Amino acid sequence: MKNRSLVSINDFSKEEILQIVDLAAKFEENPNQELLKNKVIATLFFEPSTRTRLSFDTAINRLGGRIIGFSDASSSSTTKGETLKDTIRMVSNYADLIVMRHPLEGSARYADEESRVPIINAGDGANQHPTQTLLDLYSIKKTQGTLENLNIFMVGDLKYGRTVHSLLQAMSHFNPVFNFISPDELRMPDEYKFWLDSKGITFYEHTEFTDILSRADILYMTRVQQERFADPLEYEKVKNIYILKNSMLKNTKDNLRILHPLPRVNEINTDVDANPKAYYFQQAENGVYARMAIIASILGLV
Ligand code: NCD
């Protein structure tokens, strides 16, 4: 992985993915190490973020590195009309590694072509979110003891949700069964379903999930991605379509864990938070260790 970018989760092999997951566990045991001494890492967030940016910042700080960048593109020269190409060319002369979030699909791949240093994609539009996937895999492995043969339910905005796109591709290494639950308007795009077919992975599509929830090992809830809708009225129609309530978890498996990349809006009722099957806040903590593992691997420090 040394000196390689992480733009799509498919940039890393199954073995490399497993190495990161194992390394995340080691960082969780021992999170304060000076591995990034004398390293400067740029975090360029052209789109809002709380967890992703702060967990990258925490990971870099705990490893003794230094950070440059911005959390709001309006404070950068983008507002003066600077192109992404020029910004990346320049920042890649300042930093050893660039972490970037951008609203356009494909922007991270483009940045990678222009950059002299590796790029970590922290989300490019509705396309990919590979670092979220690595922390999701770490969370799944920790809670299930394995990544193999799991029944994964993905619920909500499967069209615009980049987290589910990356996660389904990574999980496909581990013989899962997928259940996709969404309104018709927000179904998993065909390109991902064709991709699953080509790998021989079984998936089912539904518009409801209450009756089948007893089969799930992982219930991955997602937010309807309001910012990606061209028509606000279309968003209004689907915004509260699924709301998970504690009462719905009665007949579920003991090992079931509820994941959500966060932020949640209304899709998980707060009465679920105290249920031991709710794992989304621990999942967000795991993001620090997974991102330490990603950075250290790409900079060749482990
Ligand atoms: C997700 C994202 O940005 O794609 N959030 C995150 O990174 N934890 C999910 C979302 O915004 O709904």
Question: Is residue 101 flagged as an active site residue?
Answer: yes
Question: Does the beta carbon of 290 lie inside 6 Å of ligand 1?
Answer: no
Task: Quick: pLDDT tens for 214-250.
Answer: 999 999 999 999 999 999 999 999 999 999 999 999 9
CATH class of 130-284: alpha beta
Q: Which of 53, 101, 165, 173 is catalytic?
A: 101
Cite the DSSP H helix spans in the chain: 14-29, 51-62, 84-94, 107-114, 130-144, 162-171, 190-198, 232-238, 280-298
User: How many secondary structure helices (H) and strands (E) does the chain include?
Assistant: 9, 9
pLDDT in tens, 98-156: 999 999 999 999 999 999 999 999 999 999 999 999 999 999 999 999 999 999 999 99
Q: Mark whether 129 is an active-site residue.
A: yes
Does the beta carbon of 53 sit less than 6 angstroms from any atom of ligand 1?
A: no
Ligand 1 atom closest to Cα of 162? 4
Residue 206's pLDDT is 98
- pLDDT tens, 59-108? 999 999 999 999 999 888 888 899 999 999 999 999 999 999 999 999 99
pTM (predicted TM-score):
0.98
Closest ligand 1 atom to Cα of 47: 3
Domain with CATH 3.40.50.1370 in the chain: 9-128+287-298, 130-284
CATH of 9-128+287-298, one of 3.40.50.300, 3.30.70.20, 2.40.50.140, 3.40.50.1370: 3.40.50.1370
Tell me which of 39, 53, 62, 129 is the catalytic residue. 129
* Predicted pLDDT at 75: 86
Going by CA atoms, what residue is nearest to atom 7 of ligand 1? 52
**Over 90: is that where the pLDDT of 194 sits?**
yes
pLDDT for 141: 98
